[in-house]
């Protein structure tokens, strides 16, 4: 295959996220003050987390929590552990959460958190001390009616359990609803673990009807093989889709007749060492297949491309090489706004992140409701309710896209901004100052 250039990220992900708001605002009858408010996060906290390492030394890690907007309810968003976490990235992720919650109509605003760390280099005890230390520092900033964290890249149910336990100790009461994505034994919801992938899967099932797809003829590439990537790959494989390429942080594999996804998942997850809580095995080492890079995976001649890793994967630099006709954004922000414009000209359909990966926050909302009710639902009930929401919002956004002749991302933002606009207006005061009310 030809040599491939690394995708170049935009200077500021948050500035790029704002461009999308401005673009969508042109298509909605919205007070300009609503858009102005959404351009500024409500509150930002930066903390330094001192952690006693196993060898007795001290290391200090930087962490962030951003609450973007709470017009529609308490803020909600994951916590990411990654060496590339920055305030700019966390602000963008928080803004996307605001829009995502509005897209699916769950009564939350948006937030996000992150710690600058390579968690694969920490022992489980160091990881636990780091997680508890972070919660200690942001305890006054979060809460079941204020701001509710959840897992994101390189955080999982076990870490959410530690965090919930730490918060409960600080408050001296059991507080399961402060965090979602917890282990089932601590009040987690059935169906939460695979919810992000499943939500995207329900979007693809709607597309399947509209495009008359025969699953066995649809070639799929999935970038990222963690929580979200594994669950979408497994569900599509179960329906007969051909998953021809899969990758993780160390690279990818390609096989034209498709992979047996359940055995790939088993191999990858079986090699989880006790020493580290992260999977140590890359898909590249797990199966016999053509080895490809993450950049090559994006440029494969496939029908459906599913970025499920990190942001800024499809940029102005590599967009002309993208051959997939449909992209379903399971990751947050994998396509930059510059690349968006070109994909739209190429008539590539992009099912945007704020819709495609909203299954995670939807089932997080179900978990929060169950924690507050103290009454737990069956997995069938969770799937059924998730299915209903994802199909309803997918079809609403598809209709807006067709009616307004805009791309699906702009339609999703327009839909979200309409809901946000009504909430802001309903809070009052603003209309007293507008000209027609004087
Ligand atoms: P995860 O930590 O479970 O998995 C991340 C995967 O990405 C791993 O397979 C890792 O090897 C891979 N990866 C990391 N760097 C990579 C790179 N440079 N190139 C290719 N692969 C790379 O995380 P996750 O929860 O599956 O999250 C994946 C994406 O989905 C993120 O963008 C996240 O924000 C988004 N998301 C997750 C949830 C959720 O509920 N987990 C919800 C909404 C959105």
- pLDDT for 3 equals 37
The residue whose CA has the least distance to atom 18 of ligand 1 is: 249
165 C-alpha to center of ligand 1: Å? 25
Q: Is the CB of 333 under 6 A from ligand 1?
A: no
For CA atoms 238, 242, 248, 254, give the dihedral sign. Answer: positive
Name the pLDDT band for 317 (thresholds 50, 70, 90).
Answer: very high
For CA atoms 259, 260, 266, 267, give the dihedral sign. Answer: negative
Q: What is the mean pLDDT of the chain?
A: 92
Name the pLDDT band for 414 (thresholds 50, 70, 90).
Answer: very high
Name the pLDDT band for 273 (thresholds 50, 70, 90).
Answer: very low
Give me the residues paired with residue 120 across strands. Answer: none
Residue among 112, 182, 205, 268 flagged as catalytic:
112
From 81, 148, 224, the mutation candidate for ligand 1 (largest count of ligand atoms within 8 A of CB) is 224
**Rounded alpha-carbon distances, angstroms, from residue 369 to 94, 318, 382:** 21, 42, 12
| Least confident range of 100-104, 161-165, 246-250, 392-396 | 246-250
Average pLDDT of the residues in 29-57:
95
Name the pLDDT band for 267 (thresholds 50, 70, 90).
Answer: confident
Q: Which fold has domain 42-178?
A: Rossmann fold (3.40.50)
Q: Is the CB of 309 under 6 A from ligand 1?
A: yes
Domain with CATH 3.40.50.720 in the chain: 195-351
90 C-alpha to center of ligand 1: Å? 15
CA distance 39 to 365: 25
CB-based burial label for 214 (10 Å; 0-12, 13-18, 19+) = exposed
Q: Is the CB of 189 under 6 A from ligand 1?
A: no
State which ligand 1 atom lies nearest to the alpha carbon of 311: 32
CA distance 40 to 19: 13
Does residue 112 have an active-site annotation?
yes
Residue 2 confidence (pLDDT) above 60: no
Domain with CATH 3.40.50.10860 in the chain: 42-178
Q: Is the CB of 310 under 6 A from ligand 1?
A: yes
From 115, 310, 335, 359, the mutation candidate for ligand 1 (largest count of ligand atoms within 8 A of CB) is 310
145 C-alpha to center of ligand 1: Å? 27
CB 223 within 8 A of CB 252: yes
pLDDT digits (tens, 9 = 90+) for 335-392: 999 999 999 999 999 999 999 999 999 999 999 999 999 999 999 999 999 999 999 9
Q: Which fold has domain 195-351?
A: Rossmann fold (3.40.50)
Cα 401-405-409 angle, rounded to 5 deg: 40
**Around Cβ 346, how many Cβ atoms within 10 Å?**
12
CA distance 365 to 358: 11
| pLDDT > 70: percent of the chain | 92
Q: Is the CB of 7 under 6 A from ligand 1?
A: no
| Least confident range of 104-113, 192-201, 255-264 | 255-264
**Rounded alpha-carbon distances, angstroms, from residue 410 to 25, 77, 337, 353:** 9, 22, 11, 12
Residue 199 confidence (pLDDT) above 80: yes
CA distance 323 to 303: 8
Cα separation of the two ends of the chain = 66
120 C-alpha to center of ligand 1: Å? 14
Please provide the DSSP assignment of 34-80 as one string: HHHHHTS-SEEEEEEEEEE-TTS-EEEEEEEEEEEE-TTSSEEEEEE
- pLDDT for 270 equals 75
The reported pTM is 0.93
431 C-alpha to center of ligand 1: Å? 42
Nearest C-alpha neighbor of 158 from the set 185, 183, 137: 183
Task: Collect all residues with Cβ–Cβ distance below 8 Å to 60 and sequence separation of at least 6.
Answer: 48, 49, 50, 51
pLDDT digits (tens, 9 = 90+) for 202-214: 999 999 999 999 9
State which ligand 1 atom lies nearest to the alpha carbon of 155: 2
Name the pLDDT band for 1 (thresholds 50, 70, 90).
Answer: very low
């Amino acid at each position: 295959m030809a040599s491939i250039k690394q995708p170049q990220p935009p200077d500021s992900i948050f500035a790029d996220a704002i461009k999308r708001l401005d673009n969508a605002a042109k298509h909605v009858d919205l007070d300009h003050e609503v858009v102005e408010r959404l351009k500024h996060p409500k509150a930002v906290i930066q903390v330094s987390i001192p952690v006693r390492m196993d060898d007795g030394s001290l290391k200090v890690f930087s962490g962030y929590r951003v609450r973007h907007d709470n017009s529609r309810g308490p803020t909600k968003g994951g916590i990411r552990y990654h060496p590339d976490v920055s305030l700019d990235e966390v602000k963008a992720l928080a803004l996307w959460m605001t829009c995502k919650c509005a897209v699916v109509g769950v009564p939350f605003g948006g937030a996000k958190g992150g710690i600058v760390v390579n968690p694969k280099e920490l022992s489980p005890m160091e990881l636990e001390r780091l997680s508890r230390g972070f919660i200690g520092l942001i305890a006054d900033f979060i809460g079941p009616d204020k701001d509710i964290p959840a897992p994101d890249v390189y955080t999982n149910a076990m870490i959410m359990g530690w965090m919930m336990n730490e918060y409960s100790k600080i408050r001296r009461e059991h507080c399961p609803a402060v965090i979602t994505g917890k282990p089932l034994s601590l009040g987690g919801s059935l169906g939460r673990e695979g919810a992000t992938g499943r939500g995207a899967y329900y979007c693809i099932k709607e597309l399947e009807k509209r495009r008359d797809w025969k699953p066995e003829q649809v070639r799929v590439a999935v970038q990222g093989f963690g929580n979200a990537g594994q669950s979408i790959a497994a569900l599509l494989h179960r329906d007969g889709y051909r998953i021809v390429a899969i990758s993780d942080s160390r690279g990818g594999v390609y096989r034209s007749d498709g992979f047996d996804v359940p055995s790939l998942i088993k191999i990858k997850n079986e090699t989880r060492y006790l020493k580290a809580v992260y999977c140590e095995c890359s898909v590249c080492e797990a199966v016999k297949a053509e080895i490809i890079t993450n950049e090559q995976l994006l440029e494969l001649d496939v029908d459906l491309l599913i970025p499920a890793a990190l942001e800024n994967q499809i940029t102005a630099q590599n967009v002309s090489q993208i051959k997939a006709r449909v992209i379903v954004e399971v990751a947050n922000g994998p396509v930059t706004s510059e690349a968006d414009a070109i994909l739209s000209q190429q008539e590539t359909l992009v099912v945007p992140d704020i819709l495609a990966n909203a299954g995670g926050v939807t089932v997080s909302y179900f978990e929060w409701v169950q924690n507050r009710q103290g009454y737990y639902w069956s997995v069938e009930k969770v799937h059924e309710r998730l299915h209903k929401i994802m199909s309803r919002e997918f079809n609403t956004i598809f209709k807006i896209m067709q009616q307004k002749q805009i791309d699906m991302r702009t339609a999703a933002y327009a839909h979200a901004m309409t809901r946000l606009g009504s909430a802001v207006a309903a809070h009052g005061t603003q209309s007293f100052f507008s000209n027609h009310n004087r």
